[in-house]
């Protein structure tokens, strides 16, 4: 395997607000799974009367009430969406209605309609209807009385993924682009490996001190971490090419040799991840694929 060291420590109680750095409160939703780790993180920014909230999380009474109780007599002026996966956005309608906040995000990209059969968890997993009140693209800014955010477009895990820089604080909310507890799922058609790698490269030149991800705890020395993920993906690409060379010439066979031990619930996600690598290798003309690419299509090295 690789030398990636995951960071799985996170101190929390479900739906209990915790200040993770000055002016930033995290509330963890009680929706743990193999895809969401302990649950989805909602962040609330600001100590004044106008707050920003990053990712409403799932539609869940306890989570909604924990947010509203923390906000108290103040108001949420902006809701920022990292990406439109259900575990981040499902709670949006109720929260938007209750707060009247301006909803900010990249806006859903119709890369592919997707189906239940193509999502990594096997469940319907994203909100195709999402339209933000305020469209943020790369470099877009929003501010309140004591917080200011700059959007960083980081597609790959999702085609509409934004990370958010907390300006003048060297803090980046990395969403599901970079998480400490596990690698990000890059699963076509929603995920795109070329975009994901480019979005990792984009982080290397930055000087952030800490990332606060969509799932799991804080990530210190985050550039080193992003770099380790890039190395990990290159390693996997090599492993996939060797597998093909050794006669494991379709995605199903590659998964069996590249992932030595695999939780049965993650076989589909792993297969889609290998598919994402194959698509990326095909774009670079390193692997030849017969269209349409399925888990059983025969692959050859170019």
What is the contact surface with Zn ion in residues (CB under 5 A)? 87, 176, 214
| Nearest to Zn ion of 24, 89 (CB atom) | 89
| Nearest to Zn ion of 177, 248 (CB atom) | 177
| Nearest to Zn ion of 185, 281 (CB atom) | 185
Nearest-approach distance from CB 220 to Zn ion, in angstroms:
21
Strands 102-105 and 75-80: parallel
Supply 21's token pair. 């750095």
Task: Look up residue 159 and give its DSSP letter.
Answer: T
Strands 75-80 and 50-54: parallel
| Nearest to Zn ion of 99, 125 (CB atom) | 125
d(CA 31, CA 221) in angstroms, rounded, equals 28
Nearest-approach distance from CB 256 to Zn ion, in angstroms:
27
Nearest-approach distance from CB 283 to Zn ion, in angstroms:
26
* b/e code 3-42 from CB counts within 10 Å (16+ = b): eeeebeebebebbebeebeebbbbbbbbbeeebbbbbbbb
| Nearest to Zn ion of 87, 208 (CB atom) | 87
Nearest-approach distance from CB 88 to Zn ion, in angstroms:
5
Nearest-approach distance from CB 182 to Zn ion, in angstroms:
11
Task: Please name the helix (run of DSSP H) or strand (run of DSSP E) that holds residue 27, with its range, or none.
Answer: strand 24-28
């Amino acid at each position: 395997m690789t030398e990636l060291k995951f960071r799985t420590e996170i101190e929390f109680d479900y739906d209990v607000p915790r200040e993770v750095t000055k002016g930033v409160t995290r509330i963890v939703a009680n929706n743990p799974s193999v895809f969401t780790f302990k649950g989805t993180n909602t962040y609330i920014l600001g100590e004044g009367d106008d707050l920003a909230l990053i990712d409403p999380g799932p539609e869940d009474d306890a989570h909604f009430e924990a947010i509203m109780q923390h906000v108290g007599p103040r108001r949420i002026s902006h809701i920022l969406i990292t990406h439109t996966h259900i575990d981040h956005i499902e709670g949006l309608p109720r929260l938007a209605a209750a707060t009247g906040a301006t909803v900010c995000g990249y806006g859903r990209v119709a890369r592919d309609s997707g189906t239940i059969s193509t999502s990594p968890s096997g469940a319907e997993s994203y909100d195709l209807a999402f339209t933000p009140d305020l469209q943020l693209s790369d470099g877009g800014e929003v501010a309140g009385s004591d917080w200011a955010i700059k959007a960083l477009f980081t597609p790959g895990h999702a085609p509409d993924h934004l990370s958010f820089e907390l300006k003048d604080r060297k803090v980046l909310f990395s969403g599901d682009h970079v998480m400490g507890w596990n690698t990000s799922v890059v699963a076509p058609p929603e995920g795109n490996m070329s975009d994901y790698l480019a979005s990792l490269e984009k982080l290397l030149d930055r000087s952030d001190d800490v990332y606060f991800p969509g799932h799991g705890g804080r990530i210190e020395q985050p550039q080193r971490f992003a770099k380790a993920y890039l190395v990990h993906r290159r390693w996997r690409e090599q492993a996939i090419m060797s597998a093909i060379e050794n006669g494991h010439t379709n995605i199903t066979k590659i998964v069996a040799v590249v992932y030595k031990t695999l939780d049965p619930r993650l076989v589909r996600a792993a297969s889609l991840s290998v598919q994402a690598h194959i698509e990326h290798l095909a774009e670079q003309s390193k692997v030849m694929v017969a269209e349409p690419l399925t888990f059983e299509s025969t692959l050859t090295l170019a």
